Structures are given as C-alpha cells and as structure tokens.
Amino acid sequence: MLKYLASTLKEIILLTRDRGGLAMLFIMPVALIIIMTLLQDSTFKALEERKLPILILNMDQDTFGINIYEGLSSSSFFSVIAQEENSQDPVGSLKKRVASGEFQIGIIIKSDASNRLRNNIRYNIIKQLPEEDSLFFGEMSIQRKDKPKIEIYFDPITKNSFKQSITSALNEFSSGVEAKVLFNVYSSLFKELLDMDMNNEGGFKKLVDIETLYATNDGQMTVPNSVQHNVPAWTIFAMFFIVIPLAGNIIKERETGISQRLKVVSGSTLPIILGKVTTYFFVGILQAVSMLAVGVWVLPLLGLPQLILGSNIIALILLTALVSLAASGYGVVIGSIANSQEQSSIFGSISVVILAAIGGIWVPVFIMSDIMQKVSMISPLNWALRGYYDVLLRNSNTFEILPSLISLLSFFVLCLGIAWRFNSTRKSY
C-alpha cells in the first residue's frame, strides 16, 4: 500500500511539473473537438435528416398556401424553412439565398393564390350549368382570373432527382388542395341552389396513406448529430492518447535505470504500475469531464447543437471510468513492450489512430461498409463509442451498456496482465 501510494504521489508530482505535456493533453483534444464538430456539422445534418432543405415564401397565407406549406413540412423528405416575409424584398432575398447555395430549392407561393383558385373553380362550375341555372346565381359577371401560381427556384447544381421529387410533391399537394377547394365550392353552391346543408363530415381525407420508412439493419438505429458523435468520439480518442505520455514515462524509467533500482528494492512491480495507472486514470477522467463540458457549454456558443448528456449519469460516469482504465492499460502495455521512446511513441500514436479509424472515431461506423462495420468491433475505441451512443442517444442505463463496460474492463485486465508478465520476465534492461 505504501509503495502504491508513494508511486501515485510521485506520478502526480511529475505530471504537474510537466505543464507543457499537461496542456497538450487538454488543449489539443478540445481544439480537435471544436474543429471536427464544426467541419462535420453539415455532413451530419444531411445524414441525420436525410431531408432536402427547401426555402418557402408563402405570400398567399390562405387555404392554398397553407396547405402546400404544411404538406411539404409533414413530408419526411423535405425540411421546410420559411423565408421571412417582413424583409424588404422577400422574393429577392429568397432568390439570393438559393443562388448562393444556401438552399438548393426555393419556392414562392404567389399572393392571392387561394382566392384565384376559388374563383376559377366557381367560374368553371357555373359555366358548366345550363344558362338559366347559371343566371339563377346572377353570376354572369364572374370572370376567369389568372391561375394561382407557384414559382420554384433551383440552385443550378440541384440534382434532377431532387427537382423531380419537389415538382411531383408540389403537384400532389396542389391537386389535393384543388380537390378540397372544389369540394368546398360545390357545397356552398349546393347550399345556395337547394338550400341544402352538406354533411361535411369526413371532410376530404386522403384515401391512401403512404408511409415512408428508412430501411436500416438495426431497427432502433439512431443517427447522432455532429456534436453527439464528435464530442464522445474525440473524447475517447484523447483519452487513449495518454498511452504516449504513459508509455514514455515507463520507458524513461527503464532507460534511466530507475526501474532497475526499483526492481532491486521492491518485491513486485505491480504497485508501481498501479500507481501510474491511477494517476493517468484520473487524467483521463479530467480530460473527459473537460471535453464533455465543452460539448455542453462551448459548442452552443459556436452555433452548434448542445451536447445532451442523456438521463443516465451513472452509466455515463461508469463508462467514462472504464474508458480511462482501458486507455491506461493500453499505455502500460505499450510502455512495457516497446524497447525505446521512439518505438513507443510511434507505435503508440499510430496504433491509437488506427484503432480510432477502425472504431468509427473519424468516420462513424454507421456509414461504413458492412465489412468495416464488423471489423470495427475489434477496436476498444469502438466499444467505448458504442457505449456513449447508447447513453447519449438512447438513454441506455448501466445494465444496457454492460457489454461495452465488460469489454473495456476485460481489455484493461488483459493489458495489465501482459504488461506485468513482460516486466517480470524482461531480461535486458
């Protein structure tokens, strides 16, 4: 116990003396999180929504305009953003935003569209009646008006398939509205003609319901947004990067002869290893806390979504602790196996980068090919990331993330075992 405590205390003092190294451990990852989240924000938005953003200027604000607007909004293929109408030149501003590429599609529903539609339908009906009946309405004065109008502006780079889908959607919605209006006009004419109230029940409901669903392997797959992916991902990455200072620390002790000295005076090397693990474990925890804090408080200031920590804080803490343990274990193993500082820092950093790439830290696993999705499972960083997805996105509790926790713990124990064996059988110092 004395040896363990002394070893821990010594490591803490050493760490606090290495201001530069400490700053690297905290500042670099925070920068990484901010940059990667900003970079990938739009990519993730597209992934998350898989919806085509369209900008709509509804100048009609009556049955026709409202119906089209709501129709498009409720579609799972479009995300509808309304163009502010109170600006000086809403039409010009809409065109500009599409031309500048902010939106690929802009739609203008011209003013008075609903009135024109009603008028023209009424006109058509009356024109169909025999002359004496139409006179009955005293409506000979009714004039055909210009058709209601929808203008669609495309960004020149818009794909044809998008153009088609928006045009057909608009056709669908406008015929829906036409039918609705037609029905209303008829019922009011009937009322005038026969003084008969139509039973409006049932209205004009859609008779066919088409539901659009995504086909995914995993029925409950939830796609994270940029923040929900990048913050935990780079937190894990940074935590695993402590293998470099930790392994370096172990090798330095060997190179300076300190570990020989310790081997002579101390029975087992285990308390010494555990002292290091403890110290770097807490470094990992501090890293995680600071990076999650960046996700919660700093990213929103940059216009990014806030990181929501989910409702299972205990699961989150346990998971973070085990990630930190696994990372320290990995550092100890590399420090014990590598023969020189150079070997350990090169092997350490490259292996962490590879494990990160495989594990879906750089490119999320769910957009990898099937084979790579399988391969990703060998990476401890992937077990960690899955755990975070579960806790942050699905509100999983400790029990539900048990597979991640157990894998990480086993990894740690395995690492420690290997390192211990290596240290006690190492013949050349």
Partner 1 sequence: MDVAIDVIKLSKEYKNTSTLAVDDISFSIEEGEMFGLLGPNGAGKTTTISILCGLLQSTKGEVIIGGMNSITHSDSIKKIIGIVPQDIALYPNLTAYENLRFFGNMQGIKGTHLKHRISELLGIFGLEQKAKQKVNTFSGGMKRRVNLIAGILHAPKILFLDEPTVGIDVQSRKVIMEYLMTLKQVGMTIVYSSHHMEEAEKFCDRVAIIDFGKIIVHGKPNNMIEKYDNCNNLEDIFIETTGRSLRD
Which of residues 10 and 180 has its CB atom nearest to partner 1 in the complex? 10
Min dist. Cβ of residue 55 to partner 1 (A): 60
Distances (CA, A) of 414 to 296, 329, 388: 34, 8, 22
C-alpha span between 72 and 121 (Å, rounded): 24
The alpha carbon of 141 is separated from its chain's Cα centroid by a whole number of angstroms, namely 59
In the complex with partner 1, the residue whose CB is nearer, 338 or 408, is 338
Report the nearest approach of partner 1 to the CB of residue 242 (Å): 18
- φ, ψ of residue 230 in degrees (nearest 5): -70, -40
- Helix/strand/coil (H/E/C) assignment for every residue in 168-234: HHHHHHHHHHHHHHHHHHHHHHHHHHHCCCCCCCCCCCCCCCCCCCCCCCCCCCCCCCHHHHHHHHH
338-369 burial, b for 16+ CB within 10 Å, e for fewer?
beebeebbebbbeebeebbebbbbeebbbeee
The C-alpha angle with vertex 61 and arms to 56 and 62, in degrees rounded to 5, equals 130
Q: Which helix (H) or strand (E) holds 152?
A: strand 150-154
> What's the min distance (Å) between Cβ of 345 and partner 1?
18
Which of residues 17 and 205 has its CB atom nearest to partner 1 in the complex?
A: 17
The residues that touch partner 1, with contacts defined as CB under 8 A, are: 2-3, 5-7, 9-10, 13-14, 17-18, 256-258, 260-267, 272, 427-429
200 vs 260, beta carbon nearer partner 1: 260
Least distance from C-beta 35 to partner 1, angstroms? 32
CB of 333 to partner 1, least distance (A): 22
> Helix (H, G, I), strand (E, B), or coil: what is residue 81?
strand
Minimal distance, residue 321 CB to partner 1, in Å: 27
Q: For partner 1, which is the closer residue by CB, 15 or 304? A: 15
Other CB atoms closer than 10 Å to residue 313's CB: what's the count?
10
Least distance in angstroms from the C-beta of 256 to partner 1: 6
Nearest CA among 291, 293, 285, 294 for reference residue 317: 285
Q: For partner 1, give the closer residue by CB, 7 or 230.
A: 7
Q: Residue 106 forms beta bridges with which residues?
A: 55, 153
Whose Cβ is closer to partner 1: residue 10's or residue 97's? 10
